Amino acid sequence: MPLDVADLRSFYASPLGHVARRFIGTAMLRFWPDCARQRVLGLGYATPYLSVLGMDAERVIAFMPAAQGVVNWPHQGLSASALVEPTLLPLPTASIDRVVLVHALEETESPDDLIEEVGRVLSPGGRMILVVPNRRGLWARMDGTPFGQGRPFSRSQLEALMRSAEFSPEGWREALYVPPLRQRLLMRSAAAWERMGAGLSLPFAGVHVIDATKQVYRRVPLRATRRSFAFRPILLPQPTPAPRIGRDPDSPPPG
C-alpha cells in the first residue's frame, strides 16, 4: 500500500521523525553545504529536508507522487508543491540543477524509469541525493515508520541502478543506526548510536544516502555489423599462347 502524505507528516512531527530528519539532513549537508543559485527539486516527500538544503537556492519546488497525496509547502508565502506522476515530470529537459529523492524510489513500481526521468530533467553535470531504506537495516524490517514501507535496496542494487541510468556516485553515507523504537532512552542516546555505527562501519544502518552526478556524456552501445568479404585472387592464371602457323624461312618457296 502506498505511503499516505498524512502519515508522513505525522511521522516527521514525532520525536522519532525529528531524529530521522536530523541525521539524514546532516548527511545531506555534508554533500551539499551550499545550494546558492541552484534550481532544486524535491521528489517524493522531501520537504523536511528542502527547508535546510534550499535556503539560498534560486528556486525550490516539491513534487509529490499522485498515489501519496500532496500538502501545501512552504507554510508561508506562495505554494511550491504539486501533485505529479513521478515518471512523467512536468518539467523541460535539463531544467533542474539538483534533485532530492526521499520516500520515492522504494515506493515506485519502476525504479529504472524513475531514475531515468530524474536524469532527463537534470542539467548536464547535475547532482542527485538519493535516500533509500537499507535492505540490511532494522528500519526496513519494522513497519512502524515510512522507511519500513515499500522496497528496500542493497548497495549493489543501487550501484547497478545508477550505472544503468548514467549516474556516477560521488559520495555514499549511511544514517539511522539507532533502532526505530520510540523509547525515550533510545531517543536520548540516538547521537551515541550514530557515532558508534558510523565509526565501526556497521552494516545495519537504516538508510543509504547517496550523492550522485549525472554524467555529461552517454555511452554509445556498439552494434554488431555484418561484413561480407569478397576474396579476389591477386595473381590470375594466364592462358598459354597458341603456336604460330606460318612458312618456315628455311623451307623452299612453293613452286
Determine contact, residues 52/31, Cβ cutoff 8 Å: no
* Burial classification of residue 114, based on how many CB atoms lie within 10 Å of its CB (0-12 exposed, 13-18 middle, 19 or more buried): buried
- Each as own residue / partner, the long-range contacts of residues 14-17 (CB below 8 Å, 24 or more positions apart, any chain) are 14/182, 15/182, 15/187, 16/145, 16/180, 16/181, 16/182, 16/187, 17/48
Q: What is the pLDDT of residue 103?
A: 97
Segment 42-64 mean pLDDT? 94
Range with the poorest average pLDDT among 8-12, 93-97, 235-239? 235-239
C-alpha cell read off for 5: 502524505
Kindly list the structural domains of the chain, giving each domain's residue range(s) and its CATH number in brackets, ordered by start. Answer: 5-214 (3.40.50.150)
Asked whether the predicted pLDDT for residue 250 surpasses 70, the reply is no
Q: Is the pLDDT of residue 255 over 80?
A: no
Q: What is the average pLDDT across 194-201?
A: 91
pLDDT at 47 over 50: yes
Ranges assigned E (strand) in 91-143: 96-102, 122-133
Q: What is the pLDDT of residue 95?
A: 96
Q: What is the pLDDT of residues 93-144, one digit of tens each?
A: 999 999 999 999 999 999 999 999 999 999 999 999 999 999 999 999 999 9
pLDDT of residue 182: 87
Tens of pLDDT, residues 150-191: 999 999 999 999 999 999 999 999 999 999 998 888 888 999
Q: Kindly tell me if the per-residue pLDDT of 62 is higher than 90.
A: yes
pTM of this structure: 0.82
- Copy the grid coordinates of residue 52: 535546510
Who contacts 48 (Cβ-Cβ below 8 Å, separation ≥6)? Answer: 12, 17, 21, 25, 102
Whether the bond into 111 is cis, omega within 30 of 0: no
